Amino acid sequence: MTLASARHILVDNEAQCLELKQRIASGEDFADIAKQYSSCPSGQDGGELGEFGPGMMVPEFDKVVFSAPINEVQGPVQTQFGYHLLEVTSRVE
pLDDT of 31 > 90? The answer is yes
The predicted pLDDT at position 85 comes to: 98
* Segment 39-63 mean pLDDT: 96
Per domain, the residue ranges of the chain are 3-92
Q: Model confidence at 1, in pLDDT bands (50, 70, 90)?
A: confident
Convert the pLDDT of each residue in 54-85 to its tens digit: 999 999 999 999 999 999 999 999 999 999 99
DSSP the chain: --EEEEEEEEES-HHHHHHHHHHHHTT--HHHHHHHH--SGGGGGTTEEEEE-TTSS-HHHHHHHTTSPTT--EEEEEETTEEEEEEEEEEE-
Q: What is the CATH number of domain 3-92?
A: 3.10.50.40
Q: Model confidence at 93, in pLDDT bands (50, 70, 90)?
A: confident
